[in-house]
Structure 1
Amino acid sequence: MDALVDTLSSYLENPWSQSLGIFILSLVLTVVVRGILRFVLLGLVQKTKTEVDDILVLAVKKLVTYSIPVIGLMVALTPLALPTSFPERILFSVLAVLIIRSAINVVDDISKWLEKTLIERTASTMDKGLVPLLRKAVKMSVVILGILIILGQWGVQIGPLLGALGIGGLAVALALNTSLANVFSGIQLILDRSVNVGDKVQLESNETGVLLDIGLRTTLMRTYDNEVISIPNSQLANARIKNYTKPDASIRVGVNFAVVYGSDVAEVKRIVLDVISRLEDILQEPEPQVLFLNMGDFSLDMQARVWVDNYGKQFAKKLEMTELIYNTLNESGIEIPFPTRTVHMMQ
């Protein structure tokens, strides 16, 4: 019996045995904690209405799988009394990378949850652009903080480094003045809510399309020819923009037409108004109109107007109205003029 106790004591006093025992205990602890998280906490949080606690528990469960064994290895190095701290620094760096990765995954999952739930519950579309912007900023901050912590563990002096980064940042800010202006303009566009992702807009250059994304530096717009235009945010923020979705998606459809001089204006307006009022998928308020706009050089210029509930229907409805008005004037015997010029000859 004494021999067994002596053998066991010598085994326990062996640094390598102690290190192995500590690592084995960390593996057992990993299994226990994962079991608690999976069968106890995860079951509880799934009963709640919000998904945030589910996201956090799943993230902790994934982090525990790898971080506790790494911590166990770090603690297991203590009995060995190694002459160098290199292995400990390596393990600390690995642990920091695991935590950074887990934090980034949490930020991604929570931001997706915000986009899926909170934005759908509000009438405002500001968050559609603001949430991705905040997500990028938080992820960048997490990565920078993690790198600084790792550098500190490796003996790099963070204070002078931060000072150098401050001076360097000032120099970079001056050099990247245009890029920074684009970044702040992007934030301004999102907060002002003058345009949002999904809006149909017309630029000062007369290009028309739908906004795909408001990024840190540029805004992407897809034209109706399926071309994507990249617009610097600073230019977009300072430009005059026609937004077809403000104050709502309804829009007026106008078709210009003309009849010859001598035509009965009241009769023309009655005939055209009657046919356009019977068009399908138009709004009755504001009601359709036919206006006598101008007495031109060779024609009486008029315009037919109707309203549709969505700007996406404007082009198709204009084509339908144009064809309908032309056929109606022809069937009614109302002459459509063409450019003429009368020349008087003096003898």
Structure 2
Amino acid sequence: MADIEDVLPFSGIFLKLVVILGLTFAAIIVSRYILKRWFWPIVKKTETKADDRILHLFESLLLFFIILQGMQAVIELFRESIRPYIEFMDDIFFLLYWSIGVYVVFRFISIIANWYLSRVPLRDREEIDQRVVRAVKYMLMLIFAVLALSVLLQHFNVSKAALTASLTAIGIGGIIVGLAAQSALTDIITGMVIIIDRPFRIGDRIRIEKLDTWGDVIEIGWRSTRILTRDHRLIAIPNSIIGTDLITNYSIPDKMYRVDTEVVVSYGPDIEYVRNLIIEALKREDWIMHDKPIEALLVEFTDSGVKFKARCWIENYVETRVSEDKLNTAIYKALINANIAMPSSDIIIHYAERQGG
């Protein structure tokens, strides 16, 4: 009779073990079937590989979760036999779940970073974005690692006072470093925003209104942006200044550029005659774009005469100053040859302006 009583509990445990293993195996098959039947066809229609990697990550996470749940159910069957070790087993399972969670989050951050880089043009990706994306990725990983570590320490009942003191010390140290490097941190953060937002790229010609500075961008660094001015001077401008100033980019959408000048003509000559005289003089020049508008606009009646604004287009903004000289010279010669008087005190020369002005 004793032998039968010993056999029955064992057979019951064995039966439960078979059921648990069967349910675990069935759950794995059903989950993989659902993913393959409904989710993978949708993902394969997308153009990016990020969706594939995310679904692979989710599939692995689901597999690990099912297996761990099955293992925990098996452990429960023998709970009475291994009671002295239950707490240790619980800690082992917590570490497994914790490790899987950390891995999934880190992997997800890497997938998103790679997805962003894949959407950036290759030229800019090689020069700039890899540095920024890598920095942001590691920063996010560090923040999550600190949070995950605090959860781990709390689970293992690390002294709350010790944990609080450590976090306070880290916070105070961060504040001290932040205050000491406030300017540098502002420049670095603004530099990252500039690189991500892309108001300009290396090789673009920009104007920084506050500093009244023109130049070609030759480097976008962590702390400063370096531009080469038109008189061949290298200027390093802190990114914090660029981030708060108005920037005019003369290279986007293209290098085409409009130059103009204002000239005052004395009262008397016919308006259309003067207008046509200026336009015809510009049409004879070979440095302008003849497929773009050539205009002579009457903009104002001044005390000494009629003010015209003459404007035309050139192919490359690099020739701005030379083109301004040619524009003024052509108009001056045309008006002088036609005996059109120009009050010298009212001749106004303006810098060229961008299209759309």
TM-score (norm 1): 0.52
Q: Could you say what secondary structure the match of 1:273 adopts?
A: helix
Per-residue Cα deviation, 1:165-184 (whole angstroms, up to 9, x for no partner): 77644431232122111101
Q: Does 1:199 align with 2:198?
A: no
Aligned to 1:270: 276
Aligned to 1:235: 241
Query: 8 Å contact 1:185–1:234 — kept in the other structure?
Result: yes
Deviation at 1:315, TM superposition (A): 1.6
Deviation at 1:326, TM superposition (A): 0.7
Q: Does 1:129 align with 2:128?
A: yes
For the structure 1 residues 127 and 193, does the alpha-carbon distance in structure 2 shift closer, same or farther, using more than 3 Å as the test?
A: farther
Aligned to 2:341: 335
For the structure 1 residues 199 and 126, does the alpha-carbon distance in structure 2 shift closer, same or farther, using more than 3 Å as the test?
A: farther
CA distance in 2 between counterparts of 1:127 and 1:304 reads 43
Query: 8 Å contact 1:249–1:309 — kept in the other structure?
Result: yes
CA distance in 1 between counterparts of 2:222 and 2:264 reads 49
Query: 8 Å contact 1:298–1:338 — kept in the other structure?
Result: no
Aligned to 1:99: none
Query: 8 Å contact 1:249–1:310 — kept in the other structure?
Result: yes
Instruction: Say which of 212, 215, 218 aligns to 1:209.
Output: 215
Identical counterparts, % of pairs: 28
Question: What code does the residue aligned with 2:128 have?
Answer: G
CA distance in 2 between counterparts of 1:336 and 1:123 reads 54
Aligned to 2:152: none
Q: Could you say what secondary structure the match of 1:231 adopts?
A: strand
Question: What code does the residue aligned with 1:182 have?
Answer: D
CA distance in 1 between counterparts of 2:299 and 2:316 reads 26
Aligned to 1:187: 192
CA distance in 1 between counterparts of 2:223 and 2:206 reads 19
Deviation at 1:270, TM superposition (A): 0.6
Q: Does 1:173 align with 2:178?
A: yes
Query: 8 Å contact 1:252–1:306 — kept in the other structure?
Result: yes
For the structure 1 residues 272 and 309, does the alpha-carbon distance in structure 2 shift closer, same or farther, using more than 3 Å as the test?
A: same
CA distance in 1 between counterparts of 2:218 and 2:129 reads 14
In structure 1, runs of 5+ residues without a counterpart are 1-117, 140-160, 341-347
Aligned to 2:54: none
For the structure 1 residues 127 and 268, does the alpha-carbon distance in structure 2 shift closer, same or farther, using more than 3 Å as the test?
A: farther
Deviation at 1:123, TM superposition (A): 8.1
CA distance in 1 between counterparts of 2:183 and 2:253 reads 32
For the structure 1 residues 338 and 166, does the alpha-carbon distance in structure 2 shift closer, same or farther, using more than 3 Å as the test?
A: closer
For the structure 1 residues 126 and 185, does the alpha-carbon distance in structure 2 shift closer, same or farther, using more than 3 Å as the test?
A: farther
CA distance in 2 between counterparts of 1:219 and 1:226 reads 16
Q: Could you say what secondary structure the match of 1:303 adopts?
A: strand
Question: What code does the residue aligned with 2:238 have?
Answer: P
Query: 8 Å contact 1:298–1:339 — kept in the other structure?
Result: no
Out of 169-178 and 191-200, give the one that drifted further: 169-178
Aligned to 1:320: 326
Instruction: Say which of 277, 291, 307 aligns to 2:313.
Output: 307
CA distance in 2 between counterparts of 1:307 and 1:174 reads 50
TM-score (norm 2): 0.50
Instruction: Say which of 255, 258, 261 aligns to 1:252.
Output: 258
CA distance in 2 between counterparts of 1:192 and 1:127 reads 16
Per-residue Cα deviation, 1:139-179 (whole angstroms, up to 9, x for no partner): 9xxxxxxxxxxxxxxxxxxxxx9997776444312321221
The alignment covers a number of residue pairs equal to 204
Deviation at 1:248, TM superposition (A): 2.1
Aligned to 1:53: none
CA distance in 2 between counterparts of 1:301 and 1:231 reads 39
Q: Could you say what secondary structure the match of 2:328 adopts?
A: helix
The residue correspondences of 1:105-116 to structure 2 (distance < 5 A) are: none
CA distance in 1 between counterparts of 2:135 and 2:285 reads 48
Deviation at 1:187, TM superposition (A): 0.7
Query: 8 Å contact 2:132–2:195 — kept in the other structure?
Result: no
Deviation at 1:125, TM superposition (A): 4.1
